[in-house]
């Protein structure tokens, strides 16, 4: 091979590899990682991607060069010269991929083992999935329940999943991992959030009519803010003052994800407008308080005309929380 040929090949390879590297690096394929586990997974992705880009550059260079250099004349219908195998080449193109795939396997195994290792001091949260809502219970906060997942930053988080009906899948893109929730078993997921902020929680398993609405938020806070919230909310939800605790229950449950309620600053339009509860109860010909209570515990018993059935899940709240929520909704809808 002449020097000029080698230079052409190297040039073509660098060009092809450069374009592939730019596509990989400059386009936002993945969200910015916000957990230690996602950071490690990102590392594995880049490890594999760089290997792929180098191989792509070599293959593309050989291919482009051959297409131009060994192009047959338009009227040349003759067969090419016969070729035999090349033992030296075959040894190399078996050995190198074997080493690369082994390296990818080893790096992945190390990352998986590290990601599964739960720290000694961790926060345990029980996650319940049902059509079509997430609920989070904090055993360290008197089993206080919330429709939003609030967690402290830089602390091991152990989620234990329960499904009340079908298979759902828990996913926070920035945390980098998914976990199916399967009825009858209780899988766990270990995450160490390392960025403060608000991240979407998405159900990524088609689970029925309301699948697309099965979303909520993970809010990562400083440890001090989290402790204050956990303490404040676990006392607020058992407070004897219905006006205060009803608002807290509304906020901690996923109601605002689907409904409008001016008093709570909620403006979603998936389900009926809770500002109009008095009017709906009249249309249904039921006393307002009973109407609201049934709509929470058995939402499909009566569905406001114009809204789909079987979208809202039944909510089995503790009695004091349910009473407070009903009172809060009665008061809020009259004011609204
Ligand atoms: Cu739950 Cu999709």
Distances in whole angstroms, Cα of residue 76 to Cα of each of 68, 69, 73, 83, 100: 15, 15, 5, 19, 41
Q: For ligand 1, atom 1, which residue shows the shortest CA distance?
A: 168
What is the pLDDT confidence band of residue 56, given thresholds at 50, 70 and 90? very high
Distances in whole angstroms, Cα of residue 27 to Cα of each of 1, 41, 172, 237: 38, 18, 20, 45
- Among 298, 140, 299, which residue's Cα sits nearest to residue 227? 140
Which range among 4-18, 126-140, 157-171, 313-327 shows the weakest confidence by mean pLDDT? 313-327
CB neighbour list of residue 199: distance below 8 Å, 6 or more residues apart: 34, 172, 173, 174, 175, 217, 218, 219, 220
> CB–CB of 290/282 below 8 Å?
no
> CB–CB of 295/302 below 8 Å?
yes
- Condensed to tens digits (0 to 9), the pLDDT of residues 105-117 reads 999 999 999 999 9
Tell whether ligand 1 has an atom less than 6 A from the beta carbon of residue 145: no
* Cα R_g (the chain), whole angstroms: 29
Q: Which atom of ligand 1 is nearest to the CA of 214?
A: 1
Ligand 1 centroid – CA 272 distance (Å): 21
What is the pLDDT confidence band of residue 167, given thresholds at 50, 70 and 90? very high
Please provide the DSSP assignment of 171-214 as one string: EEGGGTEEEEE-TT---EEEE-B-S-EEEEEEE-S--STTGGG-
Tell whether ligand 1 has an atom less than 6 A from the beta carbon of residue 205: yes
Report, as an integer, the average pLDDT of 311-330. Answer: 83
Q: Which atom of ligand 1 is nearest to the CA of 211?
A: 2
- Among 32, 26, 27, which residue's Cα sits nearest to residue 173? 32
């Amino acid at each position: 091979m002449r020097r000029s040929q080698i230079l052409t090949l190297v040039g073509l390879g660098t060009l092809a590899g450069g374009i592939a590297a730019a596509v990989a690096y400059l386009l936002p394929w993945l969200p910015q990682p916000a957990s230690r586990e996602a950071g490690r997974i990102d590392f594995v992705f880049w490890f594999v991607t760089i290997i792929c880009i180098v191989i792509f550059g070599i293959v593309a260079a050989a291919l482009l060069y051959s297409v131009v250099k060994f192009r047959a004349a338009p009227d040349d219908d003759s067969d090419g010269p016969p070729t035999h195998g090349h033992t030296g080449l075959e040894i190399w193109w078996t050995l190198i991929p074997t080493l690369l795939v082994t390296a990818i396997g080893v790096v992945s195994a190390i990352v998986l083992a590290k990601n599964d290792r739960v720290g000694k001091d961790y926060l345990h949260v029980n996650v319940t999935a049902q059509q079509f809502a997430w609920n989070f219970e904090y055993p360290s906060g008197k089993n206080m329940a919330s429709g939003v997942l609030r967690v402290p930053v830089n602390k091991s988080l152990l989620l234990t999943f329960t499904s009340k009906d079908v298979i759902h899948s828990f996913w926070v893109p920035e945390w980098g991992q998914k976990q199916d929730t399967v009825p009858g078993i209780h899988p766990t997921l270990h995450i160490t959030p390392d960025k403060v902020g608000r991240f979407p929680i998405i159900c990524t398993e088609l689970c029925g009519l309301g699948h697309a609405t099965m979303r909520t938020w993970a809010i990562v806070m400083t440890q001090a803010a989290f402790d204050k919230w956990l303490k404040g909310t676990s006392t607020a939800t058992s407070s004897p003052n219905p006006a205060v605790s009803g608002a807290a229950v509304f906020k901690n449950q996923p109601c605002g994800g689907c409904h409008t309620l001016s008093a709570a600053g909620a403006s979603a339009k998936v389900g009926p407008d809770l500002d109009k509860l008095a009017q709906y109860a009249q249309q249904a010909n039921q006393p307002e308080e009973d109407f609201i209570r049934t709509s929470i515990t058995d939402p499909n018993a009566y569905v406001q005309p114009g809204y789909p059935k079987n979208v809202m899940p039944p909510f089995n709240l503790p009695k004091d929380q349910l009473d407070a929520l009903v009172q809060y909704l009665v008061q809020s809808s009259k004011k609204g």
